[in-house]
Structure 1
């Protein structure tokens, strides 16, 4: 067993014995996301110490890497073989790791058209709250019997265990990509994106902001050219840097308020009447809201619920608001039962998802 894993197990056992929480971190690039640890004193488990690609079969479109592997290194290796992480994960920092990517479950602009993080997770290796080395899923793209724990830990914010290794399905890079820009109102953009979603178009990203709709087309040259003629608009130069600014939140919009809300809704939801700047992604299903602290969180969540969705306080001052959308009592009971099974002593990242655990 690698020394890093032995150290992790020792840290877990000591934390259980001393009843001291553990903060699991990789590159620490997404520390701002989620709740703060409820305990003032905790041990830091540095998952970045366990890194490297374990297995990569380009012809099989599968890669397995340790959780501490930097996303930039992983993507560089895939790029050499003209492949990619199709869910286009945000980094937010050059030290972002695969473990942090899976733990937060965040996807980028391509998510609505190729799938979310959990759709590409084939298997994981992890340590639970007793220090047991567990394996779930596998390294093949097939259905398996039993609970799909590898997808369950995706987006769990490290509250269920310490990720050690992750196996992912990857996809080939598209042979051609262009981005089109069109000027229109928000209601027009929502109607357009909803209409396009039912058509066989090679759309890989959409973004609406400040009366401009941007559409990225990816795929075979013939399909991209045909879609360009059908959709119209002007081709955008420096498109790669534009989509990177959306993915990495370096676009000016993401700094236009004191709080950034992430609203997941039905794509056909009409324009929301909330004060503050808004930016739409994922065909209208993801709506970012940059607001000030005076906008009541209950107002935001009420509109999100009315649209069949939910709202998350993504970044900004979180001292007076709940981060993730409140769960029903039934769902909270399920969450607590899962937490008890994987982390009976409650040492992993307490408070990162909900204050209750």
Structure 2
């Protein structure tokens, strides 16, 4: 990046001033994920001043964008070339940015098959707590010798620094897509999903809620048609299928709308990550299952302890995704040595604790 860029210099000066004054900064792009993680603290640091797509090499399947670039704009540019971000980053609302996408590390319905945000990060430029501009990785997959810092930034929620620019691997849009609908119980849906996972089917996404299982197929036309014939179920009209998966991605479908209403009334929306083979967790409240059984949403008024205990018994963990009261802690507690590693990384990149204090954990 050009260190003489006025927008970059603005960010550098803000960080230097905050460090000198012992102040703290809350890194903020479009603000679409302010609800995620612990409550944001510090003076807002607007990253939308640094925007634009630095380069796009369609034949190399690589795009580089600045942190304040609109996620919608990036996806539109890729779509013009028949390409996409395969992990389907959720938008939640208009205005989401590329920097926020990487910092949050959240992926959509195709995550279990396509991979996570970090799997597509090739390189990144970071502004650390000392006001230094650091570059990690590059624009090819095999570019890492030692600690892969660029991918470490995915899910860091801005606690290590300002993600100034990121290079991402992209993929061609699949030539064929279809959605199938089945009526079955939670337990039957989990068993069926695991049975399908062991077969050569072009499964791309799944969602079960209230007795209905929807499955998305993606790939070559012949493979999708063969899977439709082999799996059965009801073939959904394409426009409805597209709208459903987009609504699920952005938490705008019926389940999450109702969950939002429940949260406003004192309940909590939990994101439970478990092995896909785990049986139903038996938790009270409305449940929605994604990622072949690996991601289970639960909106409930139950205390945090039984939710986290159920996740632990199933071999996973629970995150308090949306809630008015976050006193139970948003993320599952870190155990040694992970806790030490997190704190040492924070100390190395942001020794004065300038960025997003406590957004992940106390002291981080």
TM-score by length of 1: 0.97
Q: Are residues 1:213 and 2:198 paired?
A: no
CA shift at 1:143, angstroms? 4.4
Asked if structure 2 preserves the Cα contact closer than 8 Å seen for 1:47 and 1:67, the reply is yes
Question: Structure 2 CA distance, aligned partners of 1:51 and 1:356?
Answer: 30
User: Partners in 1 of 2:356 and 2:188 — Cα distance?
Assistant: 43
Structure 1 runs not aligned, ≥5 long = none
2:43 maps to 1:43:
yes
1:268 aligns with 2:271: no
Deviations 1:233-259 (A, max 9, x none): 011121000001111111121123321
Q: How does 1:1-357 map to 2 (within 5 A)?
A: 1-37=4-40, 39=41, 42-237=42-237, 238-254=240-256, 255-256=258-259, 257-258=262-263, 259-292=268-301, 295-357=302-364
Q: Is the 8 A contact 1:19 1:345 kept in 2?
A: yes
Secondary structure, aligned partner of 2:68 = coil
Gaps of 5+ in 2: none
Shift of 1:330: 2.5
Contact 2:68 2:99 in 1 (8 A): yes
TM superposition outliers: structure 1 runs of 4+ over 6 Å:
none
**8 Å CA contact retained: 1:24, 1:44:** yes
Instruction: Output the TM-score relative to the length of structure 2.
Output: 0.95
Q: Is the 8 A contact 1:253 1:290 kept in 2?
A: no
SS of the residue corresponding to residue 281 of structure 2 reads coil
- Structure 1 residue 194, shift from structure 2 partner: 0.9
What is the CA distance between 1:219 and its match in structure 2? 0.8
CA distance in 2, matches of 1:303, 1:208: 19
| Structure 1 residue 142, shift from structure 2 partner | 1.5
* CA positional deviation for 1:23: 0.4
Q: Following the alignment from structure 1 to structure 2, what is the Cα–Cα distance between the partners of residues 274 and 222?
A: 40
Determine helix, strand or coil for the equivalent of 2:140. Answer: coil
How far 1:195 moved relative to its partner? 1.2
1:2-60 Cα offsets, whole Å, 9 max, x none, are 111111111111111111100001000000000013x5xx3211011101000100010
Distance 1:162 1:318 in 2: 28
Question: Could you report, residue by residue, the CA deviation over 1:222-281 in whole angstroms, capped at 9, with x for unpaired residues?
Answer: 000000011110111210000011111111211233211000000000011111000000
Give distance in 2, aligned partners of 1:124 and 1:169.
Answer: 12
Q: Cα deviations across residues 117-161 of structure 1 (Å, max 9, x unaligned)?
A: 000000000101101110001001224211100010110000000
Whether the 8 Å contact between 1:125 and 1:164 is mirrored in structure 2 is: yes
Rounded Cα–Cα distance in structure 2 between residues aligned with 1:110 and 1:164: 27
Residue-pair matches, total = 352
| Structure 2 Cα separation of the partners of residues 347 and 77 of structure 1 | 34
Deviation per CA, 1:153-183, whole angstroms, max 9, x where unpaired?
1100000000110000000001110100000
Distance 1:356 1:126 in 2: 20
